Chain A
Amino acid sequence: MDRPEWAPPGIDVERPSAARLYDYFLGGSHNFAADRAMAQQLLATAPDIPLIAQANRAFLRRAVHMLAESGIRQFLDIGSGIPTLGNVHEVARDVAPDARVVYVDLDPVAVAHSAVLIKDQEGVVAIQGDVRKPGDILHHPTTRELIDFNQPVALLVVALLQFVRDEDDPAGIMAQLRDALPSGSYLTLSHGVVDGWRHDREMVKNLYNRTTTPAASRTRAEVAPFFGDFELVDPGLVWVTQWRPDQPSNIDGIKAAKSAVVAGVGRKP
């Protein structure tokens, strides 16, 4: 390690980042040559990735919309990435203009970008944080300032945990995050899974391992426990396109099982 332990994470635009790759797959240009080169390699192996990214993003929109309509006013979005389109605060404030959002990402560029984008918007902040250190996120002064942990919170962990390897104890991380939330809070979670994945699994995993956030491969059955004792709302943990799809539903870009992402929303009893 060439940086001392106490030093903040550095910026390396020569190394692809999952956040910028995601942006690229959503059609954004918030990315660098290194990201695009990696994206081309991924697309050659798995051409459906942009459709999967879109489906995942659409799920986030539907879920946040539903949560805002259910009365949730506080959102903690961990792994928010580059805020390309349809950000949580935009969706939530469409329904509830007083909704408050804390964006958390590991990538300093993503955080800086979010900060510029949400500048001058009261009740929306972006902080740098690592989901592997949930305590740091939960006790971050900015988090504490914006979010009242005595009121229901919507915790968003969307397409994030596939970048947390088992040795980093994602189950323990999720338990700590869930424990911090009061009753009536929600966990919105989606996770890339290997069930039904038609593409070269190892190849994709190896490619992602070259980014700043290596990937883990899990099955749907391994994702379910991340909800703990939270009660899944209808329709449960399903393919991402099947979670309360829009009507008419005949214009989805990808078939359910091809999405390779499961998603669900759970409520803390």
Chain B
Amino acid sequence: MIVEPPPRGFTDGTHITRVARAWARAVAGASYVPMAHVDIELRLAGFTTRLLRVLTSQPFDPSPATQIGVELVEAHFASPETLGHTINVLADRLPPLAGTSLDSSGRRVMRLLSALSVGYTRGLRERTLDEQESIRQATVLAQLQTEHALRESQEAFRHAAVHDQLTGLPNRIFFEKQLADLIEAGGAHNVAICFIGITSLQAITDRFGHILGDKALTVTADRLRTLARSLGHPLARFAGDQFVMLIEDPAGTPHLAGVADQIIATLSTPVHTDRHLLPMSASIGLVDRPVAGMDANDVMRAAAMTLQWAKADGTNRWQLFDPARSDREIAKHALAADLAGGIDRDEFFLEYQPLVRLEDRAVIGVEALVRWHHPRHGRLNPGRFIDLAEESGQIVRLGGRLLDKACRQAREWAKLTDSPPYVSVNVAVQQLRDGAGLLRTVDNLLQEVGLAPELLQLEITESASIPDDPQLRRTLDDIAGLGVRLALDDFGSGYSNLGYLQNLPVNQLKIDMQFVRDWKPSSTKSLLPSLVKLAHDLRLSALAEGVETSEQAEYLESIGCDHVQGYYFGKPQAASSITSLLLEWSAEEI
């Protein structure tokens, strides 16, 4: 074994520093080293010292240089270029420092740098692999986080889509899905819908504005939420001032009634705000149905309808769904829908009921009464459809048609006899409101048909609006001005402002049939004489409606009633029957 002398100047710090500085310059820019330049030189000086020690070790063992190579990379002197420059510098500078020439120690230096390169490349490879692994993991993590964030944002988005912003409650979409799921699952036997309307809300909003309205709604929603939680029933804000509670398998109607009472009690507590005490009220519609075969739309429609019934009942009421009532309302709705078409198809016709003068039992007039020949339901009396026609506004068109028919019929009878009956036609308030239109219609009709105005009578119902409405009054005056007769129908049954009667241009009071019906031969109390006298005092003729017996007729005659109408004197009948009647009479007179 060759024993080499110790390197000359081995402990000389300035030599080491010089080598380190040359090394630092050589590797500058070859890799980023996160240190101040001073520290870089110090670090490289440390490596230089250790490498010299390895180079001059006895016996020579290059293996520690492998570790130094690893440490170089760890200190971030890490790039292929750094290794190249390092080998160059060290091969040049180390041998003189070791006190040997390159030639003499060439083999040792080569083995040293070879060991260093092995450590260095191993370190670089490890570092690369570590970094690749860490970036891969970071990517996976980032992907997971992104997916999570996406899910959360989707969740938030979905939540927003199915929840009400103001109250935070599930909204209608959510509720309908919940109900549909429940029906589909079929787990429950029965399900009840508790449809809640906050009836006071509209008034609060109208009076105090939307901010306070929203406040009242939020407080209400919170109260309902607390109650629903304690009861364990899902709750949703259905729309505007409507909430809905879903009750699975309710324990019978008393149970539902209990829930409804609780809700109403909870909601009817006034809401305090900074400056106001807002009175609250609610109505509830309840529907309890078997889940099997349930149609979600159908059950919600029933719930909404029941809520309307409850509202119509008064404040703080609930109603249980009633299928029979529902059927009636549905039928009524369908009938209302048929009205316009019925008018177009001329399905309405008139029957006439005699108006008889008591004095000689002569038919001095007839009242035209409308009937509907419905294609499916057959003949319908006005009780079934007049309200619908008024609600839908079709009454004006229908009224016009009937007036036309009645006038033409009156003209027919006028041709037939010397003392023809007048025809009395009912006119709705809505027709009167269309004042100029009605006046024009009547005027044109009289001209066109050639009917004497006194052969037409319009019957108006006692109405609260007539005395206060100058427009209506003017219309009545104008019609009376045409020479058309006017009668006040159903007198005494409704609103009675006797004062206005003095100035109303009517010719006849038609005393409501109730007074006749209530009269008995034994009666000691009856308003009939007073009503007749009232008519006469106002210089009007008195006509009693609903006369069905001879006793009634005789009594009415005894108190001076002028005219009568009723089954005893003739039912409503076809125009042809009246015609026959008239022909008989005129034959008798001859």
Greatest chain B CB density within 10 A among A20, A53, A116 is at A116
Known: A27-B31, A54-B32, A254-B29. A248 touches B37 (CB 8 A): yes
Interface stretch (choices B129-137, B380-388, B435-443, B502-510): B129-137
Contacts of B40 in A (CB 8 A): 251
Closest approach, in angstroms, between the C-beta of B163 and any C-beta of chain A?
A: 16
Q: Is A269 an interface residue (CB 8 A)?
A: no
| Contact status B143-A11, CB under 8 Å | yes
Cβ-based interface call for A109 (8 A): yes
Q: Verify A54–B29 contact, CB threshold 8 A.
A: yes
The interface bits of chain A over 21-52 (1 if a CB of B lies within 8 angstroms of the residue's CB, else 0) are 00000111111100000000000000000110
Residues of B within 8 A of A116 (CB): 134, 137-138, 141
CA distance A11 to B127 in the complex (A): 24
- Shortest CB distance A51–B (Å): 5
B37 touches A251 (CB 8 A): yes
Asked if A8 and B149 make an inter-chain contact with CB atoms under 8 angstroms apart, the answer reads yes
**Are A82 and B135 neighbours in the complex by a CB distance under 8 Å?**
yes
Q: Does A251 lie within 8 Å of B157, measured CB to CB?
A: no
In the assembled complex, the Cα of A130 lies from the Cα of B346 at a distance in Å of 74
B134 engages A30 (CB within 8 Å): yes
Q: Which of B115-170 contact A (CB under 8 A)?
A: 127-129, 131-132, 134-135, 137-139, 141-143, 145-146, 149-150, 153-154, 156-157
Taking a contact as CB atoms under 8 Å apart, the answer to whether A109 and B135 are in contact is: yes
1/0 per residue, CB under 8 A from A, across B26-46: the answer is 001111111111101100000
Q: Does B308 belong to the interface (CB within 8 Å)? A: no
CA distance A130 to B533 in the complex (A): 95
Q: Bound state CA distance, A31 and B135, in angstroms?
A: 7
Tell yes or no: B25 within 8 A of A by CB. yes
How far apart sit A54 and B76, CA to CA, in the bound complex (Å)?
Answer: 12
Q: How far is the CA of A246 from the CA of B36 in the complex (A)?
A: 6
B396 at interface, CB cutoff 8 A: no
Tell me how far the C-beta of A116 lies from the nearest C-beta in chain B, rounded to whole angstroms. Answer: 6
Task: Give the CA-CA distance A54 to B29 in the complex, in Å.
Answer: 7
| Set B31, B129, B141: member contacting A115, Cβ < 8 A | B141
With A6-B157, A8-B150, A27-B78: A112-B145 Cβ-Cβ less than 8 Å: yes
In whole angstroms, what is the CA distance A91 to B149 when docked?
Answer: 32
- B79 on the interface (CB 8 Å rule)? yes
Chain B, Cβ-Cβ closest to A110: B138
- Complex partner residue of A109 from B30, B34, B35, B138, CB under 8 angstroms: B138
Q: Which of B40, B135, B143, B157 has the most CB of A within 10 A?
A: B135
Query: How many Å lie between the Cα of A248 and that of B134 in the bound state?
Result: 35
Contact A251 B25 (CB under 8 A): yes
Cβ of B406 under 8 Å from chain A: no
Q: Which of A10, A108, A116, A254 has the most CB of B within 10 A?
A: A108
Chain A residues lying within 8 Å of B145, measured Cβ to Cβ, are: 108, 112
Are the C-beta atoms of A252 and B28 separated by less than 8 Å? yes
How distant is A7 from chain B, measured CB to nearest CB, in Å?
5
- A57 neighbours in B (Cβ, 8 Å): 32, 34
Number of A-B contacts (CB under 8 A): 108
Across the interface, B141 reaches (CB within 8 A) one of A54, A84, A112, namely A112
Interface residues of B in 82-138 (CB under 8 A from A): 127-129, 131-132, 134-135, 137-138
B24 at the interface (CB under 8 A from A): yes
Chain A hits for B37, CB < 8 A? 246-249, 251
Known: A109-B139, A246-B37. A10 touches B146 (CB 8 A): yes
Report, as a range, how many residues of chain A touch the other chain: 35 or more
User: In the complex, which residues of chain A have a beta carbon less than 8 angstroms from the beta carbon of B24?
Assistant: 251
| Bound-state Cα–Cα, A252 to B128, Å | 25
Asked whether A112 lies within 8 Å of B142 as measured between CB atoms, the reply is: yes
CB distance from B146 to the nearest CB of A (A): 5
Determine which of B21, B31, B142 lies in contact with A11 in the assembled complex, contact meaning CB atoms within 8 Å.
B142
Interface size on B (CB < 8 Å)? Answer: 40
- Chain A 1-21, CB-CB to B under 8 Å as 1, else 0, gives 000001111110100000010
A237-255 toward B: CB 8 Å interface, digit per residue (1/0)? 0000000001111111110
A86 within 8 A of B: yes
From B33, B38, B132, B146, contact of A8 by CB (8 A) = B146
A85 sits at the interface (CB 8 A): yes
Contact B135 A30 (CB under 8 A): yes
B131 and A28 form a contact (CB under 8 A): yes
Q: Which residues of B contact A84 (CB under 8 A)?
A: 32
The verdict on A32 contacting B135 (CB below 8 Å), with A6-B153, A53-B32, A85-B34 known, is yes
Cβ of B157: which chain A residues have Cβ within 8 Å of it?
Answer: 6
Q: Tell me, in angstroms, the Cα distance from A11 to B145 when the chains sit together.
A: 10
For residue B159, give the distance in angstroms from its CB to the closest CB of chain A: 12
Whole-angstrom distance between the alpha carbons of A113 and B146 in the complex? 14
Interface assignment of A220: CB less than 8 Å from any CB of chain B: no
Taking a contact as CB atoms under 8 Å apart, the answer to whether A112 and B32 are in contact is no
Is the pair B138, A27 in contact by a Cβ cutoff of 8 Å?
no
Chain A residues with CB below 8 A from B134, complex form: 30, 113, 116-117
CA distance A169 to B7 in the complex (A): 65
Tell me, in angstroms, the Cα distance from A184 to B168 when the chains sit together.
45
Interface check A138, CB cutoff 8 A: no
Residue A68 at the B interface, CB < 8 A? no
The docked-state distance in angstroms from the alpha carbon of A117 to that of B33 is: 19
Nearest Cβ distance between residue B27 and chain A, in whole angstroms? Answer: 9
Q: Is A111 part of the binding interface, using a Cβ–Cβ cutoff of 8 Å?
A: yes
When distances are taken between beta carbons in the complex, the residues of chain A under 8 Å from B76 are 27, 85
Is B142 in contact with A108, judged by CB distance below 8 angstroms?
yes
Within 8 Å by CB of B139, from A8, A54, A112, A251, lies A112
Tell me the nearest residue of chain B to A48, going by C-beta: B29
Hey, which chain A residues are within 8 Å of B139, CB to CB? 11, 13, 109, 112
A218 at interface by CB-CB < 8 Å: no
Kindly state the separation between the CA atoms of A129 and B143 in the bound complex, as whole angstroms.
Answer: 16
Nearest-CB distance from A110 to chain B (Å)? 8
Task: Give 3 nearest A-B pairs by CB, closest first.
Answer: A253-B29, A86-B34, A113-B138
A-B contact pairs, 27 of them (CB 8 A): A7-B150, A7-B154, A8-B153, A10-B146, A13-B139, A26-B32, A29-B127, A29-B129, A30-B132, A31-B135, A32-B135, A58-B32, A61-B34, A82-B135, A85-B76, A86-B32, A86-B34, A108-B145, A109-B138, A112-B138, A112-B139, A112-B142, A113-B138, A115-B141, A246-B38, A251-B37, A253-B30
Given contacts A6-B156, A26-B32, 4 further A-B contacts (CB under 8 A): A30-B131, A30-B132, A108-B142, A108-B146
Chain B interfacial positions (CB closer than 8 Å to A): 21, 24-25, 28-38, 40-41, 76, 78-79, 127-129, 131-132, 134-135, 137-139, 141-143, 145-146, 149-150, 153-154, 156-157
